[in-house]
Amino acid sequence: MAGLIGGNRKTGKGRSVKDAIKAILFDKDGTLLDFAATFAPAYRQAADLATRGDPELARHLLTGTGMDIETEMAAAGSLLAAGNSEEIAAAWIALGADGPRDTLSAELDHIFTQAMHAATALPGVPAAVKALRDMGYTLGVASSDSEAAIRAFLSGKSLTDTFSFVCGYDSGHGPKPEPGMLLAFARDIGLPPSRIAMIGDNTHDLEMARAAGAGLAIGVLSGTSNRDDLAVLADDVLQDAAELVSYFAESPA
C-alpha cells in the first residue's frame, strides 16, 4: 500500500499477527485530529493565561516545552506533543508561570476541552474508524488529554458510538508511556493485550504498547513525529490512520 513504510520488513510478523488483532486503541492528538490546527491556538491561549498576558514569558513557556513558534509545531516527544496538563503545568511553573500547579492544570484542561469543540479531524480518519468498527474491530481511545476533552472531540465528530472505551490521563490508569491505559482497555473488552493494536503518532504511544504487550504497535506520520522517531518502536509506520482500513482489510475481526 502506498502509505506503508517498511511493511512487516522490520519485525517479520506477517499476516498471522494481523489476523490475531481484534481491537484497536487509538491515540487522539495527531492520530485522530490535526495536532497543529487544533492545539497551536489552544497552547497560545493557555500560555497567555499562565503568564497573565506577558508575551515574552508566554513565548518562553511555549518554546521551553517544545513548540516551534514559526511553524507552530511541537517537537516529537516534547511535553507539548506528548505530555498531559499536569506535566505541562509543572513545567510552565518551573519556567516562570503563575501557580499553583493544580489550579493551572485545571485551567489548561478547561482550555483544551473547549478546543475540542472546534477541533479539526484528520482527512478520512472519521470515516476510517467507522469502517474499522463495521469490520468488527472493537475501538478505544487513549490520550494524554483529559477524558472530558476526548469525549468532547468524539461527540463533535459524531464518533461517540464508534468507540467502546475512552481513557484520558485523569481516568485513573496512569499516564503514557506506562502500560495502564492499554491494559485497562484489554480488561474492559475482555481480550489479552496481544489481540490489540495500538495506533499513535508519538513514541509515548508505542512505548505504552510495548510495555503492555500489545500485538501490534503502529506509528502514523500525521502528527508530531517523523519516520525515524517511530521506526525503532513501531511494527509498521503508516502515513495516517485512514490507511488502517486497507492495512487490516484482509484480516476480518
Segment 121-130, tens digit of pLDDT: 999 999 999 9
φ and ψ at 199, to 5 degrees?
A: -120, 125
CATH code for the domain of 193: 3.40.50.1000
What per-residue confidence (pLDDT) applies to 14? Answer: 61
| 253 pLDDT more than 90 | no
| Residue 221 in grid coordinates | 506520520
Q: What confidence tens digit (pLDDT) does each residue in 23-41 have?
A: 999 999 999 999 999 999 9
Q: Say yes or no: 98 and 128 in one domain.
A: no
Q: Say yes or no: 99 and 136 in one domain.
A: no
Q: Say yes or no: 102 and 204 in one domain.
A: no
Give the mean model confidence (pLDDT) for residues 185-213: 98
Q: Say yes or no: 147 and 29 in one domain.
A: yes
Mean pLDDT in the chain?
93
Q: Say yes or no: 22 and 142 in one domain.
A: yes
What per-residue confidence (pLDDT) applies to 99? Answer: 87
- Lowest-confidence segment of 12-21, 67-76, 150-159 by average pLDDT: 12-21
Which DSSP helix (H) or strand (E) runs through 113?
A: helix 101-116
Q: Say yes or no: 126 and 112 in one domain.
A: no
Judge whether 141 and 166 are in contact, CB under 8 Å.
yes
At 16, the pLDDT band (50, 70, 90 cuts) reads confident
DSSP code at position 75:
P
What per-residue confidence (pLDDT) applies to 215? Answer: 98
Which residues make Cβ contacts (< 8 Å) with residue 56, sequence separation at least 6?
none
Final residue before a domain boundary, out of 93, 116, 139:
116
Q: Which domain range does residue 59 map to?
A: 36-116
Q: Say yes or no: 188 and 87 in one domain.
A: no
* Torsional sign, CA 99, 101, 106, 107: positive
Overall number of domains in the chain: 2
Q: Say yes or no: 160 and 126 in one domain.
A: yes
Which residues make Cβ contacts (< 8 Å) with residue 18, sequence separation at least 6?
216, 247, 248, 250, 251
Which residues make Cβ contacts (< 8 Å) with residue 143, sequence separation at least 6?
27, 28, 29, 149, 150, 167, 168, 169
Beta-bridge partner residues of 216: 197
